[in-house]
Structure 1
Amino acid sequence: MTDAFALSRRGALGMIGGVAGAGLLPAAATAVEGKAGASGASWFSTTATLPWQSHAVPALAPAAPAMFAQDATIQLDKPRQTMAGFGGAFSERGWDALTLLSPAKRHAALSLLFTAQGCNFSQCRTPLGADDFSRDWYSYDETPGDFALDHFSVARDRETLIPFIKAAQALRPDLKVWASPWSPPTWMKKGGHYAQAPAWPGQPANGIKPEQLGHEGSDSFIQEDRYFAAYANYFARYVQAYAQEGIAISTVMPQNEFNSAQPFPSCCWTPEGLARFLPHLGRAMGPLGVTIFLGTLERGNADLVSKVMADPQAAEVVKGLGVQWAGKGALPVIRDRFPDIAIWGSEQECGIGTNDWHYARYGWATIRQYFDAGASAWTYWNMVMPTGGMSGWGWPQNSMIVVDPVKRDFTLTPDYWLMRHLGGQVQAGARAVPVDSFLGFNDQLAFRNPDGSLVLVANNGLGQIQRVRYGIGKRVLTLDLPADSLNTLVLPAGLLEV
């Protein structure tokens, strides 16, 4: 991680106070921001060594009639999917890292995620029970045979996940939260173990026995109605318990990565098994007003979705689909087969804890692939991690904020700036806008916010300045994008009138 991405407390508070990047930017850049602000337009760029640099926004010029007078056309008259929001995932280890900070620094870090002066996250994910970034394995009811759920309790979440979510809500009261489990209670599984596979080489042993292993293409959940009914009620009890804590769960998905046998909490389901469970879940969630998405899909095989949706009772309750990792390979086919269901990017591919510029560039390419395929939401994975980003099951992963346990301070990673370029400017309810180019200038995304403003997020992967002429109605915006940079421009509605 380069020093340019390190954020001192003074820098963080400067950003929250309304001067974006005041602790990091040279005086000249801050002055340029003042000039750009006169029209209400703004332009920020991030490179490997200089995050969130401000630039003057050029005036829009009349479009020339020549055929090649512009490189790409922003088609404001052809809006596409409506954006549900950007966010990240809550975790126990993330909250443990935040509690190492003083109250002032913790507030500063959270503000950089959940306020309009930061990433402005509006929709986040939380695990329903343990995930691979919980302290260790747990569920809300580990009493074997407790079909009435007499021993159900979210007491553990009151130590970690609930305070994490409530701290975010204090900064973003309208924050939406969705949930999915990594594993059901162990007594609801055929193998009786939270995991589905032995530990990977060099990782902590999880104690699973050969007869307890799960396998892709088989159902590890016990396929009996009394288990389906109890598990659906388990979801309902969870939603009700969180509501009592002041947290509304808006959407649930039945299983994280339902094809994957992992050494951490996991559970394999076949599409047919999910189709059998979903009507039970629908009956439990309907009275609570909770939406059900199918997910999360981590295989590039659209037939896995089609097999679930072929069951009329299952298809009736499914309103959307969560997709992550290799599932992105199925996006074009899914959009073609199921044009009416929402698609969410449900987990940022998490890397191996290097928190470097290369992976932020990869993250950008992945996000663009999702939105080009019609996705309406994006969820980063670990928002906050301690130095090293290690899970309890031995996999170091990236995060947006890194907390140093020794210095009791935090830094921002390149992934933070990637998410700020998108989430900080694209409002929930924005419409994605297509950008066409027959000259090969295809490395951008555009959105029209509910207030009428245009957000253009443009990438320059070259090692030199790249000039791009964007046609907007009858005018052209010419940008000299810095070398190896990610750029976000916001043009207010008044500048877009033709």
Structure 2
Amino acid sequence: MSAPAASLTWVVTTQDAAWQPREAPQPTRLAGMPDVMLRPDRVRQTMEGFGVCFNELGWRALSRLSADDRDGILHELFAPGVGTGFTLCRMPIGANDFSADWYSYDEEPGDLALEHFSIERDRDTLVPFIRAAQKEQPALRLWASPWSPPSWMKTNGHYAAALPWPGSGVENGLRPDQVGREGTDMMIQTPENLAAYARYFARFIDDYRAEGIEIGMVMPQNEFNSAQVFPSCTWTPEGLARFIAHLGPVMAERGVEVFFGTQERPAPSHLATVLADPDAGPWIRGAGFQWAGKGAIADARRIAPELALYQTEQECGDGRNDWRFCRYAWSLMRRFIDDGATAYTYWNLALDEGGVSRWGWAQNSLVVVDPDTGRFRYTHEYHLMKHLTHFLQPGAQSIEAFSWTGYENQLAFRNPDGSVVVVMQNDLAEETTATLALGDTAVAVTLPADSFSTFVFAA
């Protein structure tokens, strides 16, 4: 850019005041060394989208609200140019840990022909939830993963893999002899069982398509290393490869991609093992990472630079929805996007106050509903997500924001129209100044104490 930008937009959020437009300083010609040099010529990755996961308890919370309030929330989260503008979302295949309780689409023991397969339960929950979002965002893209196969397909014959936490006050009916272990295959590894499970995925895709809901990608298992008190199933990378060899062809017949994941361990060898398998590797088009899997994503980009890399679930918090966790969530966003993630997925869209699941885990959400009053509020993390997504256009690219003076606390993007978006945190307890440079243009700003700022340099 050879001349000062024509305009600059600035929005600020603090713990006490969210999404406050500020009068932006007038850009000037660069003179001297800036604190942050924005380099739109140094593109890192194209962002495929941002979103949430559609969960049963989220729809239950929203259903407590008036139709106008519920529609307003979905408009705020999904409508282009309004709020967060989500475009790429996740959904479960059957029950997950934020379902009302356990279910699968076929719990008839030994039904390898899937004669009892049905998504009827979803027609009361996930189907209307997704349709309501699609109404606001017709271009919404979806991907899906199971938390557990049908219980009869597993070695322990149960949906869970761990005993309830002591003192949790919940039960899952698991016996001590049914407990699973990381590094084992809890899925029965016979060819007949794996082939039936691939057809289970296919029926899921087909039946949702009949509802007018297209699912463009699947991952074979949520957190395949974790034995959990809620729906879960451990797999080895070798076991996943055996299943993907069955899954890949039936998904390809339907135009659905297969990703590796979701991975929640910092072990690059897991992805490498599946990619090296001649019957599984050719089907893999991307990989998904969450929680401690953030320690593997940079290596995944090195091992397989051709793959799309998704952040698949933001860490969930503790139901307090406080500023402390919002600050931590920003560190996760920076880590994943800096390491090459092309998509970023928040977890719960909405929950009742306290956010406690059927299995006793309290978690955060973008919207909190008071079940006693029928009122709701947007949380700090909602406004943080809005800082990241509101000004980004489809096809936005992550760019280098170079600093050598301790100002490394930002993410920057270039939109297809040439505008540049910068999201910054001032994590100090006092104001701090920073000079941002874009080509020959500079702007000196004073960032409020303990705040998030988004700047938009017009094209």
Give 1:414's aligned amino acid.
Answer: H
Match of 1:352 in 2: 318
In the alignment, structure 1 residue 71 sits paired with structure 2 residue 35: yes
The Cα of 1:476 is off from its aligned counterpart by: 1.2
In structure 1, the partner of 2:17 is 50
Q: Which residue of 1 aligns with 2:451?
A: 485
Given residue 208 of structure 2, which amino acid in structure 1 is its aligned partner? Y
Q: In structure 1, the residue corresponding to 2:253 is in which secondary structure?
A: helix
Note the alpha carbon deviations across 1:71-126, whole angstroms, 9 max, x for none: 11111111111101010111101001111011011111112211221111011111
Note if 1:252 corresponds to 2:230.
no
- Return the offset for 1:449: 1.3
CA contact (8 A) 1:87 1:423 kept: no
Deviation at 1:423, TM superposition (A): 1.9
Match of 2:108 in 1: 143
Hey, what does 1:62 align to over in structure 2?
Answer: 29
Query: Is 1:222 the equivalent of 2:182?
Result: no
Q: In the alignment, what sits opposite 1:171? A: 136
What are the within-5 Å matches in structure 2 for residues 214-293 of structure 1?
Answer: 214-293=180-259
Partner SS for 2:46: coil
String of CA shifts for 1:398-436, please: whole Å, max 9, x gaps.
001001111111011111111111122223311100111
Partner amino acid, structure 2, of 1:428: P
C-alpha distance in structure 2 between counterparts of 1:293 and 1:450, whole Å: 27
Task: For 1:479 and 1:320, locate their aligned partners in 2 and report how far apart those are by CA, in whole Å.
Answer: 39
Aligned residue among 338, 342, 348 for 2:304: 338
Which of 90, 95, 98 pairs up with 2:62? 98
Task: State the Cα deviation string for residues 224-283 of structure 1 (Å, max 9, x = none).
Answer: 111111111110110111111111001100000000000000000000000111121111
How far, CA to CA, are the matches of 1:359 and 1:94 in structure 2?
20
CA contact (8 A) 2:414 2:420 kept: yes
Which residue is 1:394 aligned to?
360
Distance 2:436 2:306 in 1: 31
One-letter identity of the residue aligned with 2:276: A
Aligned residues: 453
CA contact (8 A) 1:390 1:397 kept: yes
Q: Which residue of 2 aligns with 1:189?
A: 154
The answer for the alignment partner of 1:419 in structure 2 is: 385
2:294 maps to which of 325, 328, 344: 328
Helix, strand or coil for the counterpart of 1:179?
A: strand
Question: Tell me, what secondary structure is at the counterpart of 1:320?
Answer: strand
In structure 1, how many angstroms separate the alpha carbons of the residues matched to 2:436 and 2:9? 16
TM-score (norm 1): 0.89
Partner of residue 338, structure 2: 372
> For 1:383 and 1:247, how far apart are their aligned partners in 2?
19
8 Å Cα contact 2:145/2:218 also seen in 1: yes
**Aligned-partner Cα distance in 1 for 2:443–2:206:** 51
For the aligned residue pairs, the C-alpha RMSD in angstroms reads 1.2
> Structure 1 residue 39: deviation in Å?
5.5
Decide which of 302, 306, 309 is 2:272's aligned counterpart: 306
Q: Pick one of 93, 107, 117 that aligns with 1:152.
A: 117
Matches within 5 A, 1:198-213: 198-203=163-168, 204-213=170-179
Report whether the alignment pairs 1:124 with 2:83.
no
Query: Partner of 1:26 in structure 2?
Result: none
Deviations 1:329-368 (A, max 9, x none): 1222222222111111100101110100010000001110
Deviation at 1:213, TM superposition (A): 1.6
Q: Distance in 2 between matches of 1:407 and 1:118?
A: 25
- TM-score normalized with structure 2 length: 0.97
Structure 1 CA distance for aligned equivalents of residues 7 and 369 of structure 2: 35
Counterpart CA distance in 1 for 2:451 and 2:345 is: 22
Q: Which one of 418, 428, 442 corresponds to residue 462 of structure 1?
A: 428
Structure 1 equivalent of residue 419 of structure 2: 453
- Where does the alignment leave 5 or more consecutive residues of structure 1 unmatched? 1-37, 494-498
1:129-174 CA-partner distances (Å, limit 9, x unpaired): 0000101000000111111111110000001011000000000111
After TM superposition, the structure 1 stretch with the greater mean CA deviation from structure 2, 151-160 or 435-444, is 435-444
The residue number in structure 2 matching 1:6 is none
Assess if the C-alpha contact under 8 Å between 2:11 and 2:22 holds in 1: yes
**Alpha carbons 1:178, 1:249 under 8 Å: kept:** yes
Please list the CA deviations of residues 431-455 of structure 1 after superposition, one character each: whole Å capped at 9, or x if unmatched: 1001111112110000111222211
Aligned counterparts of 1:224 and 1:214: Cα–Cα separation in 2: 18
Match of 2:99 in 1: 134
Q: Which runs of 5+ in 2 are unaligned?
A: none
> What CA distance in whole angstroms lies between the structure 2 residues aligned with 1:180 and 1:424?
27
SS at 1:354 equivalent:
coil
Name 1:19's counterpart in structure 2.
Answer: none
Tell me the secondary structure at the aligned position of residue 288 of structure 1.
coil
Q: Contact 1:85–1:427 at 8 Å: present in 2 too?
A: no
**Hey, what does 2:399 align to over in structure 1?**
433
CA distance in 1, matches of 2:139, 2:417: 18
Q: Is the 8 A contact 1:88 1:383 kept in 2?
A: yes
Q: Does the CA-based 8 Å contact 2:8-2:27 persist in structure 1?
A: no
Equivalent of 2:440, from 469, 474, 494?
474
Contact 2:53 2:347 in 1 (8 A): yes
- 1 CA distance for matches of 2:284 and 2:246? 12
Partner of 1:496: none
**In structure 2, what residue type is equivalent to 1:464?**
E
Tell me how far 1:288 sits from its aligned partner.
Answer: 0.7
Contact 1:76–1:473, Cα closer than 8 Å, also in 2 = no
Alignment-mate amino acid for residue 85 of structure 2: N
Q: Identity, % of aligned pairs?
A: 51
